[in-house]
Structure 1
Amino acid sequence: MEVKGRRNFLSKVMLTSIGGAALLSTSANAKSTQNQSLTEVQKDKLFFIYQEEKVARDVYITLGNIYTDENTFASIQISEQRHMDSARELCEKYGVDISNVDESQVGEFVLPVLQELYDTCVSTGEESILDALKIGELIELTDIDDLEDAAQDMPSDVITVFESLKEGSYNHLDAFQTAIARA
């Protein structure tokens, strides 16, 4: 599958998954002032970003275990954990139910569309080190787009965190593109 084809696939998967996330958010804490400041759609987007950061981390863990001589995966998976932590803190602050997410289970996702994304990325990445690095590049490009889309109409603190995550993704993108050129 060419990078453009993968990009189109991932973009379609991401667009579909935002709607799927709507089924998973909760309004259990709607009494809190903080929780009233996000709509259900915004909560769904926040949950999706949290899970998407887990996809990136888990793909990099899995591909890093396959390609142990390629340090790009190992270094970026640590950063992706920090991205997950930041998104999780926002979910907790705004009352998004994340109780069914087990961060310790690599490769397991609540949203079926993200499970499919993980499985596809790993399957493609297993084909060769170059394919694995291109999957990393594609994940980062997708993350950047999704963070930009999800930030629309969000409170300023969420936008600030998303901007920080986006900057991290640009750094990861540079690292993957450098590794691709090297490979």
Structure 2
Amino acid sequence: MSSKPDSTSVLTEEQKDMLFFIYQEEKVARDVYITLGKIYNSENTFRLMQITEQRHLDCAKKLCDIYGVDTSSVDESVIGVFESPVLTMLYDTYIEKGKSSLRDALEMSEFIGASDVDMLEHASIGMPSDVVSVYEKLKKGNINHLNTFHTSISRAA
């Protein structure tokens, strides 16, 4: 990822809000995998996903930093706490569903990956090429996650 924004790029407030939302959404995914990993500590898939989601979170934060989006209100060290009430509700819903069974947790995680792909496609619209490039990499990562979760679901059946 480039360390400078595209030279002609100035983001609108709406685009900055989208960068911040994607950053927080990556935290939701990471936090869900951390929490489910504690519940199902014998399922390695959640541990692996925590690591890759942290990388996604770092990439999204770097974009926020590059474009001057303030992320200081987000404490990455606190699991399950988000700036957005919508994301708090999503996290709570994902965890509640995931607590039912390992299979439900894996299926919920697969759903998160699919949702992230859709969200990143939407978030890319009208963004500068450096942002689109990062979002494409995050999308590819989420597609890999889908494959991993699909395999884990098959194994848990």
TM bucket normalised to smaller: over 0.9
Q: Runs (4+) of structure 1 moved beyond 2 Å?
A: 33-36
Pairing partner for 1:75 from 48, 53, 60: 48
Across the aligned residues of Structure 1 and Structure 2, the Cα RMSD in angstroms comes to: 1.6
Aligned pair partner of 1:86 in 49, 59, 74: 59
Going from structure 1 to structure 2, the CA distance change for 1:35 and 1:60 (only over 3 Å counts) comes to farther
The corresponding residue for 2:74 is: 101
Q: Displacement, 1:97?
A: 1.3
Q: Is the 8 A contact 2:9 2:128 kept in 1?
A: no
Call closer, same or farther: CA 1:99–1:117 in 2, change over 3 Å.
Answer: same
2:8 is the counterpart of 1:40? no
Asked whether the equivalents of residues 34 and 94 of structure 1 are also in contact (C-alpha less than 8 Å), the reply is no
Q: How does 1:114-125 map to 2 (within 5 A)?
A: 114-125=87-98
CA contact (8 A) 1:151 1:162 kept: yes
Shift of 1:34: 6.9
Matched letter for residue 140 of structure 1: G
Correspondence for 1:26: none
1:35–1:95 Cα contact (<8 Å) kept: no
Distance 1:173 1:45 in 2: 23
Amino acid at match of 1:50: Y
Amino acid at match of 1:129: L
Query: Is the Cα contact below 8 Å between 1:60 and 1:74 reproduced in 2?
Result: yes
Q: Which amino acid aligns with 1:159?
A: V
Percent of counterpart pairs with the same letter?
Answer: 59
- For 2:121, the aligned partner's letter is E
Matching of residue 155 in structure 1 with residue 122 in structure 2:
no
Structure 2: which 5+ runs fail to align?
A: 1-5
Deviation sequence 1:10-41 (CA, Å, 0-9, x none): xxxxxxxxxxxxxxxxxxxxxxx979610011
Question: 5+ residue gaps in structure 1?
Answer: 1-32
- Higher mean C-alpha displacement, 163-172 vs 34-43: 34-43
Return the TM-score normalized by structure 1.
0.80
Equivalent position amino acid for 1:118 in 2: Y
Is 1:180 equivalent to 2:147 in the alignment? no
Amino acid at match of 1:127: S
Aligned residue type for 2:34: I
